[in-house]
Structure 1
């Protein structure tokens, strides 16, 4: 049962990683002064594309490290 839940979490993390990579690509195509909405919980806040890109990179790094951790346990 544990391997089933870890493979499900692994699949979810792979989807999150792809989503973060797409977000980073999209944000990279915007000028640094461009204002964008960033989701924080259930709310959206206006911020700069640079701050949103930094946050997306942090989220991507966290997802990747968690995926590596899960893969090393199996």
Structure 2
């Protein structure tokens, strides 16, 4: 029984580390998306943003704002995980 408890405690840091790595990948993906959107020429007006399984035409500004919001949320989750 003690071995089971020790085994369960041993997997928790591994799961937390996997979660941290996934969050870091998510943060990086949002950063890349924002920089790619910022590099688009101003003459290109609509871009396509995927929401669920459907793509919607949006302005570059609104998509950058949405990506920035997702980036902030991912960073907050990463900070909470680091503090725990």
TM-score scaled by length of structure 1: 0.90
- Aligned positions, number: 73
Aligned partner of 1:7 among 17, 38, 49: 17
TM-score scaled by length of structure 2: 0.80
Query: Residue by residue, what CA displacement relative to the aligned partner does 1:16-51 show, whole Å, maximum 9, x if unpaired?
Result: 111100110011112286210101122211101100
Structure exhibiting the larger radius of gyration computed from Cα positions: 2
Asked whether the 8 Å contact 1:20–1:60 carries over to 2, the reply is yes
Structure 2: runs of 5+ lacking an equivalent: 1-10
Structure 1: runs of 5+ lacking an equivalent: none
Instruction: Check if 1:24 corresponds to 2:34.
Output: yes
CA RMSD of aligned residues (A): 1.4
